[in-house]
Amino acid sequence: MKIKHLYIFLLVTAILSGCGVAAQTGRQDGDFAAAAEYSSRSKGLAMIVWKNGRIIFEEYQNGHKPDDPWMLASGTKSFSGVLLAAAIEDGIISGFDEKVADTITEWKGDPMLSRITLRQLLSLTGGLEPGNIGRPPSYSEAIRAKAVYPPGEKFQYGPVPFQVFGEVMRRKLRPRGEGVYDYLRRRILDPIGLKPSRWQMQEGQPNLPSGAYMTAREWLKFGEFMIAGGRAGGRQIVKKELLDALLKGSAANTNYGITFWLNRGKSDPAGLAQAERPRLAELISPENAVRKISLYGLGDDLPKDLFCAAGAGNQRLYIIPSQNVIIVRMGRMAEFDDAEFLRLLFLSKSVKG
């Protein structure tokens, strides 16, 4: 019996030890300790570092577990850019500069709404009333938004443009007998092997600005797809040149492409709507984190090809093609500085090497 009990004890110890390594890969040598500690202090829940095809660090913090799903919040928005690229490749949409009013025909009579392109819509420069962050309207409500600036002139961050895009896709897909989420799943999520834990719906349609919930490892799959230029499972899912178009900033905001945040450096604030130009003292508050990126990028000393999906509560999916690095960070609402977190992370020899 003693031998049997010893065997069971050793087996359980080995299993538990293995779980600990899975949850804290890389922490033991201190290589990522500073960045992980900063994330944890800022109410972090999950942190994964992926490089050259493998996870080199993974840690779950403040009671969060690997299988716990978490909201992406506005990190969800970047799926819309890829959805647009796929629809262009499939011939459902003619191109980035197709007019929204070609589909939302109610807009044709309005002098400003009739000019908005899909590129402008999803680069948040269409001039629409942006809506309240965290309170996305339904598709039917979103298309009733007014234009407050001429298209292309101002950057305004909010959920309305994404729900308008959802209605564009709904109308485009209706003759094919396919729903928006069905198309997103068939065309992008399933080929990537990405399984969201859930996706919030409104009036039976997916909430495109903020509806996705998933684990950190599932969100990582989206990053792997993007860093591979649209490849997954050994095949090209979406053309690379279409995805590359998502990573070009606009004249109104050089640090925001089509649904992705960029690191192009200090922006000319003239192109940002007044609501997106906070006083410097306000930039440290959590709700203004994305405003800070708009004005200053993610960090002057960081690679210029760095781009990310970002959401409230400091949900981040950072992608750095030149380093072949992806970082997933999930957390609760707290003070958090992207540049400081990334600076600490780039002190790691494992990331820079």
Domain ranges in the chain?
Answer: 44-60+69-352
* Neighbouring-strand partners of residue 68: none
- The model's confidence at residue 267, banded by pLDDT at 50, 70 and 90, is low
Q: How far from each other are the two terminal CA atoms of the chain, in whole angstroms?
A: 51
Average pLDDT for 210-228: 98
Report the distance separating Cα 202 and Cα 252, nearest Å.
Answer: 31
Range of 23-32, 126-135, 193-202 with top mean pLDDT: 193-202
| Rounded-to-integer distance, Cα 65 and Cα 204, Å | 30
d(CA 199, CA 240): 26
Contact call for residues 122 and 115 (beta carbons, < 8 A): no
Which CATH class, in words, describes the domain spanning 44-60+69-352? alpha beta
Count of alpha carbons within 13 angstroms of residue 279, beta-carbon side? 2
The predicted model scores a pTM of 0.89
Mean pLDDT of 46-75: 97
| pLDDT at 224 (0 to 100) | 98
| Burial class for 296, CB neighbours closer than 10 Å (0-12, 13-18, 19+) | middle
Q: CA nearest 273: which of 257, 258, 295?
A: 295
Over range 106-121, report the average pLDDT. Answer: 98
What's the mean pLDDT when you consider all of the chain?
88
Q: How confident is the model at residue 259 (pLDDT cuts 50, 70, 90)?
A: very high
- pLDDT for 294: 86
- DSSP class of residue 100 equals G
DSSP string, 4-25: HHHHHHHHHHHHHHHHHHHHHB
Indicate the DSSP class of residue 76.
Answer: G
Whole-number pLDDT of residue 24: 47
What SS3 class is residue 65? coil
What are the pLDDT digits (tens) for 314-342? Answer: 999 999 999 999 999 999 999 899 999 99
**How many Cβ atoms sit within 10 Å of the Cβ of residue 198?**
11
* DSSP one-letter string for 247-296: G---SS-TTB-SSSEE------GGGB-GGG---GGGTTSGGGHHHHHHHH
Both tokens of residue 98?
């197709």
The percent of residues above 70 in pLDDT, for the chain, comes to: 85
Query: Identity (one letter) of the amino acid at 120?
Result: Q
Residues β-bridged to residue 330: 46
pLDDT, position 345: 93
Q: How far is CA 132 from CA 45, 50, 129, 135, 294, in A?
A: 26, 34, 9, 5, 18
Cβ atoms of 83 and 188 within 8 Å: the answer is: yes
- H-state helical runs in the chain: 2-24, 33-41, 78-89, 118-122, 139-142, 160-173, 180-184, 190-192, 216-227, 240-244, 289-296, 338-345, 349-352
